[in-house]
Amino acid sequence: DSPSLRLDAPLFVTFFQCALTAALCLGLSLGTACGPPGCPGLPALRLDPKVSRSVLPLSAVFIGMITSNNLCLKYVGVAFYNVGRSLTTVFNVLLSYLLLKQTTSLYALLACGAIIGGFWLGVDQEGAEGTLSWAGIFFGILASLCVSLNAIYTKKVLPVVDGSIWRLTFYNNVNACVLFLPLMMLLGEFRTLYHFDKLGSPSFWGMMTLGGVFGFAIGYVTGLQIKFTSPLTHNVSGTAKACAQTVLAVVYFEETKSFLWWMSNLMVLGGSFAYTWVKGLEMRKVQEEPTLRSSEKSETGV
């Protein structure tokens, strides 16, 4: 979205990130396979159509997530980006009820209420400052929904690839590349690229490659976190990241924000951490109940 570039092709940028991630996975896998014997390497990668079809639902959600993230960032400032897509925890609660029929406690719902209140206050303050973009808000809400679905589907699809984050990253990004092509054609991005005057610029491709490498690292670490913890833990750490990101963005762009604007961010972050604390207590209670029952049985001799 840089004025010096004038490239209105967000899907192409995302497509390139996915293509580079798939190429990095394959290249690193081949590199370790050709390495010295006895050296621990990455699992061999080969494209299995059956596995690819099984990963396809996750890939569709993944496309929605990264595309809506990029489009949200296109229309809103980096500082507001955290609030713009802060409803992930709220969607977690809704999807848990709709898909898994899991109910949520009153305290957790109150925490979600604080997040929603912070979101609306942030929207109101952006409007007061004259920087509100309804397109950015729409894509932020869509991104929140897709982030929640992505974490759920990642946990669901992992057994298909034998629990290997490396294989999941490879299949997911290959599928995404294929799905992006018709979307790019539908939105006329091939025509935009044809008329783009910096398509042969080394600096442009250098920045594109750097973004792709960061995308690869983020995707791999995200998958590892969901694998070894839970979708909830992943979303909470994302909230902590967003806090640091907001402060850094305001400092870097030398912006001046109102007290209520900062209050909206605090409400979102406070509600997110309160929700995590409540869910953590509930999970600990569930884990302790079987231990208490077994100790009571042993004491009574049953």
Whether 173 maps to a domain, the answer reads yes
Q: Could you tell me the pLDDT band of residue 138, with boundaries at 50, 70 and 90?
A: very high
Whether 302 maps to a domain, the answer reads no
Residue range 214-267, pLDDT digits in tens: 888 887 787 777 777 766 666 667 767 777 778 888 888 788 888 888 888 888
Whether 3 maps to a domain, the answer reads no
For residue 61 the two structure tokens come to 């959600």
Contact 216, 256 (CB under 8 A): no
Residue bearing the bigger pLDDT, 120 or 254: 120
Residue bearing the bigger pLDDT, 209 or 275: 209
Whether 4 maps to a domain, the answer reads no
133, 21, 151, 3: which is closest to 73 by C-alpha? 133
DSSP 246-257: HHHHHHHTT---
Mean pLDDT (whole number) for 117-129 = 88
User: So what's the pLDDT on residue 40?
Assistant: 47
Total number of domains in the chain: 1
User: So what's the pLDDT on residue 16?
Assistant: 92
- What pTM was estimated for this model as a whole? 0.75
Query: What is the extent of the structural domain holding 111?
Result: 10-35+48-292
User: So what's the pLDDT on residue 83?
Assistant: 80
Q: How far is CA 157 from CA 56, 195, 215, 221, in A?
A: 10, 40, 20, 16
Mean pLDDT (whole number) for 92-113 = 84
* pLDDT over 80 (residue 107): yes
